[in-house]
Amino acid sequence: MIYLRLILTILLPLLLGFSIVAVIYREKTISFLERFALAWGIGLGILGMSIFTLSLFGVRLTLIISALPSLFLTISLLIFAIVRKYPIYNLNSVWKELKGLENIFTQPNHPRTLAEKLLALLIILITLYVFFDATVKPIVNFDDLWRQGCIARIIYVKGEIINEQTTELAGGHPYLNPISQAWIYFGIGEWNDALGKIVFAIYFLTLLMVFYAGVRRYTDRFHSILFTFLLTTFPLLVYHAGTAYSDLMQTFYYTAGVLFLYHWFNSNNNLTLISSALIIGLGIFVKQLGTPLWLILLFVLGLYLAVEQKRQFQPLGKYFMLSFLVSLPWLVNSQSFILNYGLIFWHKLFPVANGPAVAAVITAPYGPPNLGGIVSQIWRRMYFYADWQILWFVLPLSLIFSWQKFWSYHFKYLGLILVFSFLMMVYGFTEQNAYTYLVDGTLVQRMMMYQVPLALLIIAVTTKTLFAKK
Amino acid sequence: MLNKALCILLFVFCLLCSVSFANDIVVPFTSVPNQPYFQSAQLMVDSVENNTIILTLKSDQNGTARLFWANHYDPQFNQPKSLWFFVKSGIHDYYFNVPSQNPNWIGWTKALLIYPEFDPAGLEIKYAKIVPSSLSTNIASGWQEFWGPNGRVVVGSTINVTPASTIFGQPINIYAYWLTGIFFLLILTWQRNYLRAGKLTIYFSLGVWILLGLSTYHNNFGILKDNFDKYFGKSIEIKRAIAYGKDYYDFLVFVRNKLPKKPVSFSILSSRYAPELQSRIFLVPHILVDPAKDNPEYLLIFNPEPKQLELTKKYCPYAKLNQNAYILTRTK
C-alpha cells in the first residue's frame, strides 16, 4: 500500500511537469527522454515553489492543501492542451525512441553494437543500484540529518515551512530539497526517510536522460551511450544520489539549464530558451549557489547576444524575466542569497551603526586564504582524487587535439561558463570560512559536481569525429 | 652434463632462498585481554632494511582492519603510523611494503598491533614476519593496496570526497596520466603524425577511464552487498536502529514516549560522536538547544562523560531507562 501511495505521490509533480512541457512545446517534437527529465525537474520545482508560497501566506500544510494549487494547474493545463490538441506526450515519438533503445539489444553483434549493449547494460545496472541505495537506508549523513532531512520532518510534522526552527537550520539555504522530501511524507502519510530519498534517485535518472539526449543531438548513439556511461563512473555523483544532500539536485537543474541554453545557441529555437530559463530559475530554489550560477548564465547569454546576434538583447530580457518570476517567492524572501549578500555588500559600501555583521571570522588552523593556496587546493582535488576520475585530464587533451571543434558549435560559450564558474569558486574560497571548507575537503568537490556534466559534454562533442563510423 | 648443471643451479637457488629466509624476522602476536586487538612482542627491527610485513590471517568474516606500528621516535600506536586493509574470510596472506604506503615507517620498529574493525573473536593470526622487499612481495603489496578499502569503503567523509585507490602510496590517477603521456610519445615516435597520435591517445585515455569506471562499479557492488545485508527487508524503525546504533535508538524512542506532546526544548549530553544529529530529527517537534546557553527544559543523558554532568546541577530526574540513559527536567 505504501508503495502505491509513493507512486501516486511521484505522479502528481510528473503530470504537472508533463502538462507544462506540453504547453511550452505545443506541436513541436521533443525527445521523450528530454520531455521526461524536464517534466520531473519543472513539475517538482513548481510544486515545491507553490507549497513554499502557500506557507508564506500562513497556510497550514497538509497533503490536500499542498497538492491543490498543482492539481488545479495540472488540470487547467491538461484541458488547455487537449482542447488545442497539443501532444501531452507524443506516443509515436515515445514508441520510436523505445524501439531505438530496444534496438541496442537486438542488433546483430559486431564490436560497436556489442560495446553499446554492454555500456547500456552497465548504465541500467547503476541506475537500479542508485534506486536501491537511496531507498534501502534511512538518512545517515551529516547535512541530511542536521539540515535538509530535519527541515523536511519539521515541515511534515508542523505543517509550516518558515518558523524559528527551520530558519535557524536552513540559514541561507533554499527549501526545494526539504519540501520535496516532505511532499513524499505527506503523500505516503508517514515519516519514512528511506522512501523520501527516492526523489534524489529520480534526479539521477533524469540527469542521465537529459545528458544522453543532449549529447545525442550532436553525436551518434554509440558516442552518447559511451559518455552517459562515463557520467555514471563518477563516485561522488552516484553516492550523492543515495543521500538527501542538495548537490545532485543542483547539478541536474544547472546541467539541464546549460544544455537547453546551448541547444538554443545552436538552433535558435525559442522553446529551448524557455525550457532553460524555467529550469535554471527553479535551480535558484535548490541551493544558495543556484543564484550565482544563474547570474553566470545570464552574463554569458548577454555576451553571446552581444557578439553573435548583433546586440539583439530581447532574448536576454525574456530569459531573465522568466527565470526571475519562477523563483520570485524565494528571491524576495529575506533568507535568499540576493537579499542576504546584497545587504552585506550594501553595508560594506555604506557602513552604518548596528548594520549586519559583514562576515564572522572563525579561527581556522589553515591560516588566511591566499590565491596560490586556493588554486593549488582546487588543482589537487581535480586531479588526484577518484571523484571525477580523469575528466579534468581528458578535457584539455580533447581540446588540444580537436581544438578546431571548440570554435564551432558555440563551444566557446560553454567554455566561458566553465571558466566563470571556476572563477566564482576561487572567489568564494577567498573568504575565511569557505577556505576552511576548501582545505578540509568539505565543499570543493561538491561545488565542482555542477560543472562535471558540462565538461563531459564538451569532451563528447569535440571528440565526436574520432568515433564517427567510416 | 646437463643434469649436473641443473643440480648446481638448484643448489644455488636453494642457498639463496635459505639466506633470504635467514633475514626473515618472525613476529609473534598475542591477543590482549579485554581489548579488541592483537599486539606483537617487543621488537628491534631496522625499518630501512626490513620494509615488508607479511601476515597470514584466518578470519571467519570479511571486514577491514588496521595495522599499527610503534618505533623509537614515537612509541605510541596511532593513526599516522598505520595502514588500513581488507581482511577476507578464510586463510589468506597479506603483503605490506610499508614505506611505499606510509612515510612513517622509519627508525627502529618496536612493536606491531593489528586492530580488526569487526568482532576480533573471528580473527586468528596464523603467522607474521617482517622481511626485506622483493619483486614478488612488492607486486603483491601494490595489488592488495589497490584493492584495499581506501576510496572503496563508505566512511563519514565519503559524502564530500572520494580518495583514489593507491598503488605504492600514489593515487591511481597519476599512473593513468603517465601511461597516457608515454603512450602518446610512443605513438608519435612510431607514426610521426601529431593528429593521428592525438586521436589514438584520446582513445587510450578513454579506455583507461572505462577501466577506472569499472573499478568504481566494483566498489558500488560492494556497497550494495553491505546495504543489502544490513537493511533490506527490514522496517524503517529497524533500519533507523541499525543506522543510529540499537542502544541509542532505544533511548530516543524512550525519550519520544516520555516527553510531553507539546514542543519542549531539550539538550543531549553524551560521549557519543555528535549525538544531536539523530536526536534533533528524531524528536521533532521538540527543539534542540545549547545546554550551556539556552537553559533547556529537559536534559537527555546517554553514556555521558563525567565532565558533562556538571551541567546537570539545576536539573532533577524525570524518567529513567537505565543507569546510563535517562531524562532530567529543569527545577524551578
pLDDT tens readout for residues B6-49 = 777 777 666 555 555 556 889 999 888 888 999 999 999 999 99
Q: Model-level pTM? A: 0.91
A470 vs B: CB within 8 A: no
- pLDDT above 70 covers a percentage of chain A that reads 92
Say if B199 is an interface residue toward chain A (CB within 8 Å). Answer: yes
The pLDDT of residue A268 is: 87
- Closest chain B C-alpha to A150 CA, distance in angstroms: 5
**Which B residues 264-323 touch A at CB under 8 Å?**
274, 276-278, 280-281, 284-285, 287
Helix (H) or strand (E) holding B316: strand B315-322
Kindly provide the residue ranges of all beta strands, DSSP E only, lying in B168-236, ordered along the sequence.
170-171
Contact A89, A18 (CB under 8 A): yes
What cell was used for A57?
501566506
Nearest-Cα distance to chain B for A142, in Å, is 7
B285 contacts in A (CB within 8 Å)?
A: 154, 157-158
pLDDT at A365: 61
**DSSP-assigned beta bridge partners for residue B56:** B93, B127
| Among the listed residues A381, A359, A389, A385, the one whose alpha carbon sits nearest the alpha carbon of residue A455 | A389
**Is A443 near chain B, with CB under 8 Å?**
yes
Q: What percent of chain A has pLDDT over 90?
A: 67
Tell me the three cell numbers of residue B88.
577476507
Please give the pLDDT value at position B16: 57
Q: Is A302 helix (H, G, I), strand (E, B) or coil?
A: helix
How buried is A155 (Cβ within 10 angstroms: 0-12 exposed, 13-18 middle, 19+ buried)? Answer: buried
pLDDT at B282: 96
- Mean pLDDT of the region B85-111: 95
What is the fold of B2-146?
Hypothetical Protein Tm1070; Chain: A (2.60.290)
Is B162 buried (19+), middle (13-18) or exposed (0-12) by CB count in 10 A? buried
B 223-262 residues inside an 8 A Cβ radius of A: 223-224, 227-228, 230-232, 236, 239-240, 243
Main-chain dihedrals φ then ψ at residue A111, nearest 5 degrees: -50, -40
Cell readout for A5 is 501511495
- pLDDT one-digit tens code per residue, A260-286: 999 999 988 899 999 999 999 999 999
Provide ipTM, 2 decimals.
0.91
pLDDT (tens digit, 9 = 90+) per residue, B298-322? 999 999 999 988 888 889 999 999 9
Q: Is the pLDDT of residue A359 over 50?
A: no
- Look-up of cell digits 581556522: A364
Q: Enumerate the domain spans of chain B.
A: 2-146, 166-230, 240-330
Task: Order the strands of the B52-59 sheet from edge to edge.
Answer: B25-26, B123-131, B52-59, B90-97
Round to whole Å and give the CA distance between A286 and A290: 7
Handedness of CA A392, A444, A150, B315 (dihedral sign): positive
Q: Identify the pLDDT of residue A343.
A: 72
Q: Quickly tell me which residue has 590517477 as its cell.
A: B173
Cβ within 8 Å, pair A122-B217: yes
In percent, the amount of chain B with pLDDT more than 70 equals 95
- Confidence check: pLDDT of B294 > 90: no
- Could you say which of B159, B217, B281 has the minimum Cβ distance to residue A153? B281
DSSP state of A385: B
**Is A411 or A395 the better-scoring residue by pLDDT?**
A395
C-alpha grid cell, residue B270: 553524551
For A411, half-sphere exposure in the C-beta direction (CA atoms, 13 angstrom radius) is: 21
172-191 in A: which are within 8 Å (CB) of B?
none
A401 contacts B165? CB cut-off 8 A:
no
In percent, the amount of chain B with pLDDT more than 90 equals: 79
How far is Cα B231 from Cα A137, in angstroms, rounded to an integer?
A: 6
Asked if B202 has any chain A CB less than 8 Å from its own CB, the reply is yes
Judged against a pLDDT cut of 70, whether residue A409 lies above it is answered with no
Q: What is the pLDDT of residues B65-81, one digit of tens each?
A: 999 999 999 999 999 99
Taking the CA of residue A326 and the nearest CA in chain B, the distance in Å comes to 30
